[in-house]
Structure 1
Amino acid sequence: MSPRTDTRGSRRTILAHIRARSGIARVDIARDTGISPATVTTVTAELLAKGLVAEVLAEPDSGTKRGRPRVLLALNSDAFLLAGAKISNNHITVAVIDFGGELVADHVMPLPRARGTARDMADYVHAALTETLAPIGKDVADLASIGVGLSGFVDAESGEVHWSPTLSTRNVPFRDVLTDRLGVPVQIDNDANLAALAELWFGAGRGMSDFIVLTIEEGVGMGIVLDNRLFRGTRGIGAEFGHIKVQLDGALCRCGQRGCLEAYIADYALLREAGAAIGADQMDGTGAPQQIDSLIALAESGNHAAQSIIDRAGRMFSLGVANVINIFDPELIILSGERMRFFSYFEETFRQRLAQNIIDIDRDPARITVHTWEDLLWAKGAAALAMEGLTDRILQEPAG
């Protein structure tokens, strides 16, 4: 196979490779990517001219330390400041990064209410960004790009949110509302996609081209990385793991349909079932996170109703994961989200049921790892989305 020579199509590949392997020589880029050395030279010269990358000197390969230092390429950390925000039910988490991906500032701002209009949420995001940037002497106008993640049916390409539990209306041009309020280019996406992007850039998926992230907390989500890129489907909502159907005419889901996986394993689903089987008077705490903690504590203390609820959720979750493995056959599945703090409680049942439901061949199935990340990593994924949007805009500009 001859080396690739299409300069336009190679820009993104080369820049992504420099990001993933910060401090890499041109000859190594050509070897790793299959792009011709001449094209690598042309593209990297363009990236240097645009200020996206910088040359750094490294020690010579020789063990004697003699000879000329090697010239390596790395992202230019000082080029831009970017931010990402994850909107949750009761708070917004913000991460500010430099162009090299290093965390510069972070902050969590409580939301005055769980749901609101698109304009309300845009105001809250602006306030959260302002609070995050003030300690480092910056303002929203100093940001080159902003990424925002929220749960629901989010079309990253059009910028429309078809439905989200955090917005009071459907089919909202949320990206346009945010851009108008913030005065800075904005990218939006489903928060599970941003968890996957965060794993690709900063976590267990770094250096891997294909993997899947499954999340459980207030809702249930999935992010799919194929060939180092997020897979979103033709309508932008192609990874809605929480809304695969596990029972015909089953439990009511927040999305308005019945029988969704989320309606059996998400926080609100567990609390709905617990309220009927156990009674609210036995559940400590006023918010969903505290009540979930109380439900787990009851199960651990021997409460049969609580144990049954958690066990059923584990069985339903294993069924959903088995379906994902049977469809995609991934090398790695990362289980993430706040609820993974309790994975050890139902892990044995989960793995037993999973083994029973995946296709059995004479090869090891997908490796499964658990990450109990808090919202900061998701916000960093949103910042990575902002960086992707910014670099796409810059790379589309004519060279020179």
Structure 2
Amino acid sequence: MDTQSAQAFDLDARDTTRLRVLQCIRAGGAISRTDIARDLDSSPATVTSACGALLDAGMIREVKAAPSESVQRGRPRVMLEVNADAFAVAGVKVARRAIHVMLVDFKGGEIGTYLHVLKQSCMPARALTHEVRRAVELACAQSGLDMGILAGIALGLPGFMHADSAFMHWSSSVEERNVDFRPLFQEVLPCPTFLDNDANLVAKAEHLFGAGRGLRNFLVVTIEHGVGMGIVLGGELYRGERGCGAEFGHVKVQFEGAVCQCGQRGCLEAYVGEYALIRDASVGRQSDVHKSLQDILDAARSGDALSHEVLERASQILGVALASLVNLFDPEHIVLARSRPKFDNPYTDAMLDALQRNTVQVDAPLPGITVRNLDETMWAKGAAAHGIEMVSILKIRERGAVDAA
């Protein structure tokens, strides 16, 4: 459960119980009222009341247990599961070159995906909101889904933003600073829309579907054009008081160093982000020699000394920075998710070696490290998972208001 988001919606005790029950059913797949009461350490009467409200709202449904799960005599055991048909949700990731959309049902089952190519990587907030609408429209059309039935859209952006208020302090995808997206969402998009940092949504996806599944304390570091991080502590995302926490890409690694896209100097991503590698590998050369990370990797494989040096140095800087995370958080696991193309093993080895050499040495193993190429759908899948959580909270609050009327 996203407790911070639930608090932002100001759920009362009854609605909080309903949300906990719904999340227990979602985690269990198919579960009885008795097992819910046991798992939540709650009274059967309380669970029965909450389930009744969720059934009336169409958010869950009853199913008969499989024969092996039922008692030998008497009525078949009744189980509860999330009603996949209750709502549809869109998860949206805004990248530099495209908008990735994933449509899911209320149970999290994928309905369809869509890639909407962008003509420019940075644009005014209003224009970006219209591009998001267009991308979702096309995704729905491709999947044969009426856009009007969407219950929510969850949008992941790079940068500093306050998820609860949909306020963006800064993003590399938006021309303006300090944008309140909520009125734009209400004006342009057809349903409630929720905003969060894109790396937070990758962390949510890893927590639900990937290397963080079953873990309570782990970190996800994303490296594409810039560098992001998602922090899961105690099983929940940590966003910071202003929504500006976990900005690993903007920790300083060099006093008065290279200019970062955020406007400051010496940030980590100004040395390891894709734009930084292209910049450094092009020093003293024609500006159009390296247009992508793939160009740099190809040049290094062909024996280009500068390209190799840039990749080696960036890998070592990243390894030292990751060691600082281990020293600071002592996490169970770290997921390093790079954008494509895949890095060659020597550069990954250089990063891991720098991490190990710069971590405080104790008589205990280092946290597990997963290094993966980031599948574009993982961003949107995390956004969709966030959308399901937020729609759940919203619908439970609406149901509570109906009951109180």
TM-score under structure 2 length normalisation: 0.90
Per the TM alignment, residue 62 of structure 1 is displaced from its structure 2 partner at its CA by: 6.6
- Partner residue of 1:22 out of 29, 33, 43: 29
Counterpart residue number, 2:40: 33
Identity %: 42
- Match status 1:274 vs 2:275: no
Counterpart residue number, 1:381: 382
Partner Cα distance (1:339, 1:242) in 2: 18
- Match status 1:214 vs 2:215: no
Counterpart residue number, 1:363: 364
Contact 1:60 1:66 in 2 (8 A): no
SS in structure 2 at match of 1:222: strand
Per the TM alignment, residue 68 of structure 1 is displaced from its structure 2 partner at its CA by: 4.8
Per the TM alignment, residue 340 of structure 1 is displaced from its structure 2 partner at its CA by: 7.1
- Match status 1:45 vs 2:52: yes
Give the letter for the 2:278 counterpart: L
- Match status 1:241 vs 2:248: yes
Output one character per residue of 1:133-155: Cα deviation in whole Å (capped at 9) or x when no partner.
11333333221100111111121
Per the TM alignment, residue 253 of structure 1 is displaced from its structure 2 partner at its CA by: 0.5
- Partner residue of 1:191 out of 198, 201, 214: 198
Partner Cα distance (1:37, 1:325) in 2: 43
Partner Cα distance (1:301, 1:35) in 2: 64
Give the letter for the 2:196 counterpart: D
SS in structure 2 at match of 1:175: helix
- Match status 1:176 vs 2:176: no
Instruction: Give the CA RMSD over aligned residues.
Output: 2.1
Counterpart residue number, 1:228: 235
Output one character per residue of 1:195-226: Cα deviation in whole Å (capped at 9) or x when no partner.
11112223232333332111000110001122
Contact 1:318 1:353 in 2 (8 A): yes
Counterpart residue number, 1:294: 295
| Structure 1, gaps ≥5 residues long | 1-5
Counterpart residue number, 1:55: 62
**1:307-318 alignment to 2 at 5 Å?**
307-318=308-319
SS in structure 1 at match of 2:179: coil
Label 1:344 to 1:19 Cα distance change in 2 as closer, same or farther (>3 A).
farther
Counterpart residue number, 1:347: 348
Contact 1:162 1:170 in 2 (8 A): yes
Output one character per residue of 1:55-87: Cα deviation in whole Å (capped at 9) or x when no partner.
222224479977654322221100001101111
Give the letter for the 2:337 counterpart: S
Contact 2:157 2:171 in 1 (8 A): yes
Label 1:206 to 1:46 Cα distance change in 2 as closer, same or farther (>3 A).
farther
Label 1:33 to 1:246 Cα distance change in 2 as closer, same or farther (>3 A).
farther
Contact 1:298 1:306 in 2 (8 A): yes
Contact 1:278 1:305 in 2 (8 A): no
Contact 1:212 1:334 in 2 (8 A): yes
Contact 1:84 1:382 in 2 (8 A): yes
**1:316-355 alignment to 2 at 5 Å?**
316-339=317-340, 341-342=342-343, 344-355=345-356
Give the letter for the 1:233 counterpart: G
Partner Cα distance (2:148, 2:310) in 1: 48
Partner Cα distance (2:301, 2:156) in 1: 34
Partner Cα distance (1:316, 1:376) in 2: 28
Partner Cα distance (1:375, 1:206) in 2: 19
Label 1:27 to 1:227 Cα distance change in 2 as closer, same or farther (>3 A).
farther
- Partner residue of 2:133 out of 126, 130, 143: 126
Give the letter for the 1:265 counterpart: V
Counterpart residue number, 1:3: none
- Match status 1:141 vs 2:148: yes
Counterpart residue number, 1:150: 157
Per the TM alignment, residue 122 of structure 1 is displaced from its structure 2 partner at its CA by: 1.1
| Structure 2, gaps ≥5 residues long | 1-12
Per the TM alignment, residue 227 of structure 1 is displaced from its structure 2 partner at its CA by: 2.9
- Partner residue of 1:71 out of 72, 75, 78: 78
SS in structure 2 at match of 1:342: coil
- Partner residue of 2:90 out of 83, 92, 99: 83
Label 1:279 to 1:140 Cα distance change in 2 as closer, same or farther (>3 A).
same
Contact 2:252 2:266 in 1 (8 A): yes
Give the letter for the 1:23 counterpart: A
Partner Cα distance (1:359, 1:381) in 2: 32
SS in structure 1 at match of 2:370: strand
SS in structure 2 at match of 1:237: coil
Per the TM alignment, residue 232 of structure 1 is displaced from its structure 2 partner at its CA by: 0.5
Partner Cα distance (2:106, 2:372) in 1: 25
Give the letter for the 1:314 counterpart: S
Counterpart residue number, 1:391: 392
Give the letter for the 2:390 counterpart: G
Contact 1:219 1:267 in 2 (8 A): yes
SS in structure 2 at match of 1:326: helix
Label 1:214 to 1:370 Cα distance change in 2 as closer, same or farther (>3 A).
same
Counterpart residue number, 1:372: 373
SS in structure 1 at match of 2:349: helix
